[in-house]
Amino acid sequence: MAAEKIPYKIYLSEDELPRTWYNVRADMKTKPAPLLNPATGAPMGYDDLRPVFCDELIRQELDNDTREIPIPTEIRDFYKMYRPAPLVRAYCLEERLGTPAKIYYKFEGNNTSGSHKLNSAIAQAYYAKQQGLKGVTTETGAGQWGTALSMACAYLGLDCKVYMVKVSYEQKPFRREVMRVYGASVTPSPSETTEVGRKILAEHPGTTGSLGCAISEAVEAATKTPGYRYVLGSVLNQVLLHQSVIGCEAKTALDKYGVKPDIIIGCAGGGSNLGGLISPFMGEKLRGERDYRFIAVEPASCPSLTRGRFAYDFCDTGAVCPLAKMYTLGSNFIPSANHAGGLRYHGMSPVLSQLYHDGYMEAVSVEQTRVFEAAEQFARIEGILPAPESSHAIRVAIDEALRCKETGEEKTILFGLTGTGYFDMVAYEKFHDGKMTDYIPSDEELQASFARLPKVPGQA
């Protein structure tokens, strides 16, 4: 059979948009560890989580068994406004690299939030609306998640309160403005509007905030405001579930052309994109049906998988959230100030952490100047100006393609291009002007952070 020429972009039809999310936990022999109550150390069940999360989302969070969970029609209708997302064959990049490798990327940047975050934002907002809530609270760092949630809430007529890490609030006023266009209220964090915010400000006057602080504030605001719940853009099992739409679409598109990837690469901050991208492929691997190499790429300045501890830790700085078992740098770890992109969370999705721990996935860390080199190269060749986060995956995809060039192997590489860098031009400018530096935390710095990990029964 003559191989059909694969187009530059494989677009699925709306009918081919997945009807179910893929819950990779159903295939895991060792399930991700449960969330623990920080006060008692007991696993948190449905009722324990109800003050914080929406009911249906808790069910999804705790469901380790159902492999396929139906996507409600209303969410699928919203998906149709910007999905299916294209799977792109990087013909130009392959040619320029002179590699025998075949490179594909799943591009999630063709929507106003500029990233894949919208896939989970609409799901979480939908279930909040279903439950009759007035609104939701959340935190945002670089602002992609906050933007996505604002868009979803505007669409559904829900109120949206975003706590934005203060340094981003000030350095990325345009992201803030996008959220305001969508009707969200945006508060720089830490703020005086919450108890935990005031406490952090008292202890660290002049702090520019962190994702961990903003989470604490958003959780407090949700639990203290009647009719509100807290939603989160990464890390949680439910988020990976929603993001599996990325992997399901990618797999359907590749299957149409009989293509099987050898290597699947994604950037990893909290793990939402990587987890979503690999889910159905990982399912095949876990069931022993097919082998794939999975590579998580993280910044050298925030290396939770490659240098963190696999331990129970707080998800936030204010220690108001449940404990999660994950690869972590410690909830007080903040990447150095010269770190440009996102991917700055101290921990990692418990699902991905477990898979990594069990040897189903590899991880590498890369320095940001090499990341921006890849970003600029990619932009000039493939046209799309990538987000710094996404460029971590580009860097390693290019490295793997160049390795194929050396060995002559015709491997098929799939990577996740999570979004666009239109709001990251300050970082691009720094790189361009030779003012970008790298930073790798010292072992001492990490040891000091590990020493502050919470004491949990059964954890050394």
Closer to a second copy by CB, 325 or 392: give it: 392
**H or E segment and range at residue 180:** helix 173-181
Q: What are phi and psi of 402, to 5 degrees?
A: -70, -30
* The one among 154, 167, 319, 446 contacting a second copy by CB under 8 A: 154
Q: Which stretch binds a second copy (CB under 8 A): 26-34, 75-83, 136-144, 204-212?
A: 75-83
By CB under 8 A, which span of 33-41, 107-115, 230-238, 441-449 interacts with a second copy? 107-115
Residue 394 lies near a second copy (rule: CB under 8 A): no
List 60, 99, 111, 317, residue binding a second copy (CB under 8 A): 111
Q: Which is nearer to a second copy, 42 or 81 (CB)?
A: 81
Q: Angle at the Cα of 389 (from 386 to 391), degrees rounded to 5?
A: 50
DSSP 291: -
| H-run or E-run covering 123 | helix 118-130
* Cis peptide, bond prior to residue 32, ω within 30 of zero: no
Cα torsion at 12, 18, 19, 21 (round to 10°)? Answer: -170
Q: Which is nearer to a second copy, 133 or 427 (CB)?
A: 427
When binding is defined by CB under 8 A, the residue of 92, 167, 201, 446 that contacts a second copy is 92
285 by DSSP, 3-state: which? helix
Q: Look up residue 134 and give its DSSP letter.
A: S
Going by the DSSP 8-state scheme, the letter that residue 382 receives in this structure is H
Distance CA 237, CA 138 (A): 17
Contact with a second copy (CB under 8 A) among 136, 178, 366, 394 = 178
Confirm or reject binding of residue 448 to a second copy (CB under 8 A): no
* Residue 422 contacts a second copy per CB under 8 A: yes
The residue ranges of DSSP E strands in 339-457, in sequence order, are 362-366, 412-417
- Which stretch in 212-220, 271-279, 396-404, 417-425 sits in contact with a second copy by CB under 8 A? 417-425
Q: Per rule CB under 8 A, is residue 383 in the interface with a second copy?
A: yes
Contact flag: residue 80 with a second copy (CB under 8 A): yes
- Is it true that the peptide bond before 70 is cis, omega within 30 degrees of 0? no
Candidates 33, 167, 319, 379; binder of a second copy (CB under 8 A) is 379
With left for phi above 0 and alpha for psi between -120 and 50, is residue 425 left, alpha or beta? alpha
**In the complex, least distance from residue 380 CB atom to a second copy, rounded to whole angstroms:** 4
- Residue 11 touches a second copy, criterion: CB under 8 A: yes
Q: Which two tokens stand for residue 451?
A: 């020493």
Cβ 289 vs Cβ 262: under 8 Å:
no
19 touches a second copy (CB under 8 A): no
Shortest Cβ 88–a second copy spacing (Å): 8
Q: How far is the CB of 130 from a second copy (least distance, A)?
A: 19
Cα separation, 395 vs 429, in Å, equals 19
**Interacting residues with a second copy (CB under 8 A):** 7-9, 11, 13-14, 77, 80-82, 92, 110-112, 114, 151, 154-155, 173-174, 177-178, 180-183, 376, 379-385, 420, 422-423, 425-426, 428-429, 432
